[in-house]
Structure 1
Amino acid sequence: MTVKKNRKRLALLSHGRPPTVNATSKRLSSTATRNLIRSHHRLLKAREKAVNDCDDDLVKSIEARIKENGGLESYQLASKAGQSLERGGDSSRVLVDWMSSTLSQLKRSSFKLRVLEVGALSTQNACSRNRIMDVTKIDLHSQESGILQQDFMERPMPTTDDERFHLISLSLVLNYVPTAAGRGDMLKRCGAFLTKTLLPGCPLSNFTPCLFLVLPTACINNSRYLTEKQLQEVMASIGFNLLKSKETSKLIYQLWEFNNHGQNNHKRYSKALLNPGAARNNFAVVIND
């Protein structure tokens, strides 16, 4: 009975993340940052496997190790360090740059684009400082007063367009979801929170809502179960088309436009071996009915 509950809870982001402890204020080097993040993800994957194997003792043991390593707060500390200016800056600068044409059309008006930033770590990033973006920030463990502590998978479904957004940001969030099916569920859920409806008098024309997605490069370029082509097919099946893409040695930035309003014709995508290799990772996205 306990195992069944654990499996069900993994569908929620909060139950895929570990307990938290006080984070150290010590400055992290770039090497320490990478090691902490990688170790954290390895432990999460080991916990997922232990849950699927119904090994409750191993689950508890892994959770204890996660806690010893600092839990979610230490992971967030490492993520913040990775987004510091001396290490490349925050990813939302790419989103603001990509949306510059749309934002310039709104510059002389009072209209703003509603943005939902999932997994927000700061209230001082590029989106937050842009006066034409009205940003709602949520995270599992809020570190600032301007960030709502909330699990996106538990956020109440919108019932009106006023409760929806023109942009959603998932920057280094999807790779944190512990299961392939959970990642597919998160992407499908994003569609329900997007709207192309603008207020009367808005100077924008032909506006399409978008999803900003940032993933570690290895999730796509070094996975056994996901390729760039496969990701585009998966996203197309749930109404998203790739608009822009940028790749660095560490990250892949993508902007997806959403055109599937009012439809529910999702194609199933299971976990299939595409790129065999001992050195590859198991990152995948599964779309169920």
Structure 2
Amino acid sequence: MPAPADVSRAFWNIQRQTRKNTQKTPKHQNTITTFSIATPVASPMASSKKKRKPSSSLLSRRQTAAAAVSKPLPSKLSRKLIRSHHTAQKRLSQAIQQNDSTAITTLTTQLTTSGGLAAYQRASVSGQSSQRGGDSSRILTDWFTSLGIPKPKDAASSSSSNSPLSAFRLLEIGCLSPANAIHSYFPAPRRTLLDLNSLHPEILKQDFMSFPVPASAESGYDIISCSLVLNYVPTPAGRGDMLKHISRFMEQGLARRELRLQKPRATNKLHKEELKPVSSDDDWDEWFPALFFVLPAPCVTNSRYLTGDKLEEIMASMGYEEVRKKVSPKLVYYLYRYHGNGTGGKFKKVELLPGGKRNNFAIVVE
């Protein structure tokens, strides 16, 4: 049987090839799209009327095509696409583990013809649109408020001086849009946004598992957002590896916290006296480094192999403390503080809740 790392690597190679194939569009399709807006034929009676000056046809038609592509999908269709993509992905990972070449070919073709990762992302973007209340980071900003961290003075400003967290840095894994609610707290360049298939120039096209920990704490991160990403990893062992890789960044986050706490207090230059230290109400370092973590609710509420208690045990073993939690019918949200004093235990795939209608989502830590 292939090693978990080999399975994950093979899976992502297939996904990349799928994405590459879906991006190839025949020339005749471009022609149809370019001339999809018909020009009406003027009648003899209207010949005396002033003709309307045509606009820059190529630009306007491209904009029309782009608008059609970016139009949100119906919610039922979005959910159907997401579910079918996850099902095909799960079966593909099983086929790779079993070296079933026929199933691999069939499922790869299925993913390609259905639009692959690009279609999945479009459905995900539609699902997280503000009109549907799907931006999960709004939960995080609400939690910031409950922890005493005020909202930025000017959410629309790109200046980090407007944010109460101006000295903090964000790393977002699986980012679909640079306009999420949390980004107002971390304007560029105080954030790094990653995704396997970037949908925006600011989002780096990057596999997080090959994204290196920065060489110095100054370039590190204080909070990591991992929303609806872990469930996309095809194997239980691969999910455990992702959590361990996140923890490497968290270790550097601890070093950043120490650097902030060691900075000398400000002084009043006029009277040459030390200013009062920041009050505990304004001391937000105690909540960092932090991990904002989101999973589909059934991964925790209806799995044979993972429960809320088991997830808490896994996270505690890695050095995390739960600060906030919210369970909705569709999603479960967590905010963890990383203290680094974990036991470093191992967790196997063990059945906890038997039942025919439960799913097989699991996290294995080796």
User: TM-score of the superposition, structure 1-length normalised?
Assistant: 0.89
Amino acid at match of 1:36: L
Alignment of 1:14-53 (within 5 A): 14-15=12-13, 17=15, 19-20=18-19, 21-22=22-23, 25=69, 27-53=72-98
Alignment of 1:212-251 (within 5 A): 212-251=292-331
CA RMSD, aligned part only?
Answer: 2.7
Aligned-pair identity in percent equals: 38
1:173 and 1:62 mapped to 2: Cα distance? 21
Alignment-derived partner of residue 103 in structure 1: 149
| 1:282 aligned onto 2:337 | no
Secondary structure, aligned partner of 1:214: strand
2:195 and 2:13 mapped to 1: Cα distance? 13
Does the aligned pair in 1 maintain the 2:7–2:93 contact within 8 Å? no
Which stretch shifts more, 12-21 or 172-181? Answer: 12-21
Query: Any unmatched runs of 5+ in structure 1?
Result: none
Q: Select which of 83, 101, 114 maps to 2:169.
A: 114
Does the aligned pair in 1 maintain the 2:305–2:350 contact within 8 Å? yes
Secondary structure, aligned partner of 1:99: helix
Does the aligned pair in 2 maintain the 1:7–1:52 contact within 8 Å? no
* Shift in CA distance, 118/12, structure 1 to aligned 2, threshold 3 Å: farther
Q: CA deviation at 1:130?
A: 2.8
Q: CA deviation at 1:120?
A: 0.3
Alignment-derived partner of residue 91 in structure 1: 136
| 1:143 aligned onto 2:199 | yes
Alignment-derived partner of residue 346 in structure 2: 268
Secondary structure, aligned partner of 2:239: helix
Secondary structure, aligned partner of 1:103: coil
Does the aligned pair in 2 maintain the 1:16–1:178 contact within 8 Å? no
Query: Any unmatched runs of 5+ in structure 2?
Result: 26-67, 153-161, 266-277
Q: CA deviation at 1:131?
A: 5.0
User: TM-score of the superposition, structure 2-length normalised?
Assistant: 0.71
Amino acid at match of 1:81: S
Which stretch shifts more, 205-214 or 62-71? Answer: 205-214
Secondary structure, aligned partner of 2:212: coil
Does the aligned pair in 2 maintain the 1:140–1:150 contact within 8 Å? yes
Which stretch shifts more, 85-94 or 216-225? Answer: 85-94
| 1:258 aligned onto 2:344 | no
Q: CA deviation at 1:61?
A: 1.6
1:92 and 1:239 mapped to 2: Cα distance? 23
Q: CA deviation at 1:248?
A: 1.2
* Shift in CA distance, 279/105, structure 1 to aligned 2, threshold 3 Å: closer
Does the aligned pair in 1 maintain the 2:11–2:93 contact within 8 Å? no
Alignment-derived partner of residue 120 in structure 2: 75
Deviations 1:94-136 (A, max 9, x none): 1122123463399686833201000000011112233578221
Q: CA deviation at 1:14?
A: 3.6
* Shift in CA distance, 161/49, structure 1 to aligned 2, threshold 3 Å: same
Secondary structure, aligned partner of 1:223: coil
User: Number of residue pairs matched?
Assistant: 284
Which stretch shifts more, 132-141 or 173-182? Answer: 132-141
Amino acid at match of 1:157: V
1:245 and 1:253 mapped to 2: Cα distance? 6
2:346 and 2:205 mapped to 1: Cα distance? 32
Deviations 1:197-254 (A, max 9, x none): 2433695353431110111110000101000000000111111121100111111111
1:143 and 1:108 mapped to 2: Cα distance? 26
Q: Select which of 173, 197, 201 maps to 2:229.
A: 173
Alignment-derived partner of residue 28 in structure 2: none
* Shift in CA distance, 69/5, structure 1 to aligned 2, threshold 3 Å: farther
2:11 and 2:148 mapped to 1: Cα distance? 32
Does the aligned pair in 2 maintain the 1:12–1:151 contact within 8 Å? no
Alignment-derived partner of residue 182 in structure 2: 127
Secondary structure, aligned partner of 1:89: coil
Amino acid at match of 1:44: Q
Which stretch shifts more, 145-154 or 101-110? Answer: 101-110
Alignment-derived partner of residue 105 in structure 2: 60
The structure with more radius of gyration? 2
* Shift in CA distance, 51/13, structure 1 to aligned 2, threshold 3 Å: closer
Alignment-derived partner of residue 8 in structure 1: 6
Deviations 1:242-289 (A, max 9, x none): 11001111111110111116x7x411100000111111110000110x
* Shift in CA distance, 16/267, structure 1 to aligned 2, threshold 3 Å: farther
